Structure 1
Amino acid sequence: MIEPDKLHTFITYIQLEKNYSELTIREYENDIYQFIQFLEIEGVKNLNAVEYVHTRLYVTNLYEKQLARTTISRKISAIRSFYKFLHREYNIRDDAFQSLYLPKKETKLPHFFYEEEMEKLFEANKASDPLSVRNIAILELLYATGIRVSELISIELRHVDSSYGVVRIMGKGRKERYVPVGDFALSAVEDYVLNSRPKLMKHTSHTFLFVNNRGEHLTAEGVRYILNGMMEKASMHSTIYPHMLRHTFATHLLNNGADLRSVQELLGHVHLSSTQVYTHVTKEHLRKTYMNAHPRA
C-alpha cells in the first residue's frame, strides 16, 4: 500500500482533533483506501505523484460503477480533505483536486410516514414484555425528537431530564444540544427505565439508556433490526430506516405550523439549506391534498 503511515496519521487527526463520528471516520478511511488502491493499479508510486488526469479517471470509474451522486460526492470530499491535510503537514501537492467539481446533488425528496401510519406502528407494537416496552420507547423517542440513530444510542441515563422534559444530545462534531421531549415519549422512556431495563441488564453494568436483550449497549445495527421487526408486526411492507423517522418528525412539525428555523435547531442542522428539503415535502403534501380535495383539480 502507498504510504500507509500518512493515511493512519490523517485518520488519527480527524478522530482526535476534528472529533468526527465513528461512522464518518470509517467511511473516510474506506474511501481513501479505495482511492489508494486505484492509484496502485494505475502505477502511481507515491501520493505526491497524483495528477489531475488520475482524479478525473477515478471519478469516471465511480460513475461507471453506477454509484449514487451523494456517494461520489462523499468520496471526493474525503480524498480532498486527505490531500489538504497532506499539503499542510507534508507539503504534498493538492492541485490535482482544485479543478475537480462535486456532482450535483440528486433532488430526491426524503421518505416519511403519514400520521396514520405512525399510529398503526405504535398500536401494533404495544405489549408489556421487557423488549416490547424498550422498542416502544425507542420508537417514541426517535419520532418525538428527530434525533439520529447515532445520537440515540449515545444517550445515557443522566442525559434524560424528566422534570424539564428534555434530553441532552451529542450531535455531529461533538456538538451538544438539548431537545424537548413530549409526554408520550417521556412516559415510554420512564416505563422502560423503571420496569424493563433492570430485567434486561442481568449481570451487566453501564449507563447507556438503551440495551439489547443481553443488557449490552445497543448498537445502530440493533436499532435497525428492532425497527424492521416492528414494521413486520404492523404488517407494513414498506422499508424503514432510522433516518426515516427523523424525516417524519421534521415533516409533521412543518405540516402542523412549525417554522423552519425552529425545526433546524431541533434537528441540529448547521445550515438552513439542510432543513429546507422538508419544505419541498410539505409543498408536495399540500399539492396532493389539493388534487384530492378540490372538485375541479
Structure 2
Amino acid sequence: MVYIVRRYVEYIQKNYCKNTANSYLNDIYQFINWFENTRQEKFEFSILTEYDLKQYRKHIQNQYDSQNTIERKVTSINKFLQWADAEKLIKPLKMQQIKNENYFSLPLTISKKQRNKLLRYVYRTKNLRDILVFELILRASLKVSDLCSLKINDVQFQDNISYITIHNPTRILSLGPRITKILKKYLVERNDSCPYVIVGQKNKNIHEPISRIAIYQILKKYAKEAGFEKINANILRNTSVAMLIEKHDIQTAQKVLGHKLIATTARYIQTTEI
C-alpha cells in the first residue's frame, strides 16, 4: 500500500501546482488515518467499501463547519478513487457529493466600515507583504491558493498598472495603480531570488514561497487586532466577490473569478454581513 500511495503522490505532484497537490495529499492521508483508526487494520483498496465512504463523509461533516472544506475533501477522495480505478487497483467507487442545508446558506461578508477599519490596521504596520496579501484578496478577488502559487513570471507591468496570470483556470487579471504601486515596492524591498511573488520564511538565505498556513495566520492576526475575530480568508474573498458583482456585472465577475458555471458566481449576488 505504501508503494501505491507513493505512486499517487508522484501523479498529483506532476499534474497539480504545489499548494493544490499538498491539499489533496493531506486530505488523502487524513482519510487513510481515519480508516485505520476506525477499522483497526491497515488501509487496502481491496477492503474499502461504499459503507466506509459513507461513514467518512459523516465524519467530516461533523468535523468541519465550512462547506467548501467539506466539498474539497470529498473531491480529494474521489480523485484518489478515480486514479486507483484507472490504474486497475479497485472496482469503481465514489463518495457521493455532500449536500446539506449549509450549502444554500448565504455567503458571509463584511461591511464597508469593517473593511476600512481592517485595512487601516494593516496599513499602519507599513508591512508591504501583509498589505499586498490583503489588497490582492479584497481588491483582486484572489484565493489563498492563488496567492501562494503566484510567480514573478506571472506578473507584467505596464506604466502604472499591472497584469497577473492566474492558473487553474488560466486567466489574466489587471491590477490598478494602487495595488501595482504596492507590488512594485514590495518586489524591490524583498530583494530575493525566490521565483514566487509573496514569500515566507528564509531557507539557506533564500525565501520560501508563502504557505497557506502563513497567510491564514496573517489574516487572523490583523482581524483580531481590529476586533473582528470571526473574519477569515473565505469571508474576505466573499466580500471581494460581492464588491466585484456590485461594481461590474455577473458575467464580468464570472470571467475574473474563473467560474465555469454562472450559477456559482450568482451565489454571491445575495450575501449576509457577519
Bin for the TM-score computed over the shorter chain: 0.7 to 0.9
In structure 1, the residue matched to 2:186 is 192
In structure 1, the residue matched to 2:251 is 261
Identity across the alignment (%):
18
Query: Could you tell me how far 1:72 is from its partner in structure 2?
Result: 5.0
Inter-partner Cα distance in structure 2 for 1:45 and 1:78: 17
In structure 1, the residue matched to 2:45 is 47
Inter-partner Cα distance in structure 2 for 1:44 and 1:206: 40
TM-score (norm 1): 0.73
Inter-partner Cα distance in structure 2 for 1:238 and 1:58: 30
Q: 157, 160, 165: which one pairs with 1:162?
A: 157
**CA shift in 2, pair 1:240/1:79, >3 Å:** same
1:230-241 correspondence runs (5 A): 230-233=222-225, 235-241=226-232
**CA shift in 2, pair 1:127/1:58, >3 Å:** closer
| SS of residue paired to 1:162 | strand
In structure 1, the residue matched to 2:83 is 85
Query: Could you tell me how far 1:101 is from its partner in structure 2?
Result: 3.6
In structure 1, the residue matched to 2:123 is 126
Moved more, 70-79 or 22-31: 70-79
Q: Deviations over 1:260-287 (max 9, x none)?
A: 1211111122232321210122xx68xx
Q: Deviations over 1:43-82 (max 9, x none)?
A: 688423444444444445555x454484554444433333
| SS of residue paired to 1:178 | strand
Q: Deviations over 1:13-52 (max 9, x none)?
A: 23324668134322342244135426743x6884234444
* Equivalences, count: 264
**Higher radius of gyration, 1 or 2:** 1
- Structure with greater strand share of residues: 2
Q: Deviations over 1:124-160 (max 9, x none)?
A: 333475xx23322222222221111221132233433
Query: Could you tell me how far 1:251 is from its partner in structure 2?
Result: 0.6
Structure 2 unaligned blocks of 5 or more: none
Inter-partner Cα distance in structure 1 for 2:125 and 2:71: 45
TM-score (norm 2): 0.78
2:220–2:229 Cα contact (<8 Å) kept: no
Q: Deviations over 1:146-192 (max 9, x none)?
A: 111221132233433231734323433xx322111122211222232
Would you say 1:108 and 2:105 are equivalent positions?
A: yes
Would you say 1:148 and 2:140 are equivalent positions?
A: no
Q: What letter is aligned with 1:34?
A: N
In structure 1, the residue matched to 2:25 is 26
Q: Deviations over 1:184-235 (max 9, x none)?
A: 21122223234x324xx5xxx32322234756233222222222333344x3
1:174-189 correspondence runs (5 A): 175-189=169-183
**CA shift in 2, pair 1:117/1:94, >3 Å:** same
Inter-partner Cα distance in structure 1 for 2:117 and 2:43: 59
Would you say 1:5 and 2:12 are equivalent positions?
A: no
